[in-house]
Amino acid sequence: MDIKLNNDNKEIGHGLFIAGLTILTLAIISQTVFVESVNTVLAQQQQQQQQQQQSQVEVEEEKEVGQQGNQTSIAHNAKGHESHQVIIFQDSSDGLTYSGTVTFNLSKPADVISFEEVTEDPTNATKKIWEVGDKKYVPNTLLKNVTNGSVNFNGSGILAHSTQDDVYTGSYTVNDTATRNP
């Protein structure tokens, strides 16, 4: 009987050893799976942060501007145009090009003109050039002699321009996107 008890104890011991080994193995596997899960979550968070940073850079490169206002015309600041009157819908900013739509209502007829900054001396002498301070712009007349309307534009800015020296008023809404020039 002692021999049978010893065998039973050995079997129980072996069973307990195998159960303990199984529990230890499962714990190691669970810990490995947990560590891998944590690493996966951390990698996903890092990837999301990188995507957010990339999105912020893209937003900085292209940004919706949009504005509205009511203005009284002012003297045009371009050389030789000082007696003309303008309402600036979208003023120029260094290194930005605007693309969008302006909707306006003016108290007197004017031309709607977009303008593009010129960084090199123009080789085409037939183009008009506006000199404002140390900058030069090429004007592009989009609408002539109008009091209201809506027009798409692309350029460094857009304004209403009257060759008369009579002051006028205007209201406008600009929906545009600013893109940084390369």
DSSP letter (8 states) at residue 120: S
How far is the first Cα of the chain from the last one, in angstroms, to the nearest whole number? 95
pLDDT over 90 at 148, yes or no: yes
More confident residue, 153 or 58: 153
What span, in angstroms and rounded, lies between the C-alpha atoms of 15 and 18?
A: 5
pLDDT over 80 at 15, yes or no: no
Say yes or no: domain 65-180 is CATH 2.60.120.
yes
Amino acid (1-letter code) at residue 154: N
For 2, phi and psi rounded to 5 degrees?
-60, -35
DSSP letter (8 states) at residue 164: S
With the C-alpha atoms ordered 86, 88, 92, 96, is the resulting torsion angle positive or negative?
negative
Tell me the mean pLDDT in the region 129-144: 91
Helix (H) / strand (E) element for 36: namely helix 2-61
Tell me the mean pLDDT in the region 116-120: 84
Closest Cα to residue 161, out of 125, 126, 127, 128?
A: 128
More confident residue, 30 or 172: 172
Tell me the mean pLDDT in the region 72-91: 92
Q: What is the pTM of this model?
A: 0.64
Tell me the mean pLDDT in the region 26-37: 70
With the C-alpha atoms ordered 139, 142, 144, 150, is the resulting torsion angle positive or negative?
negative
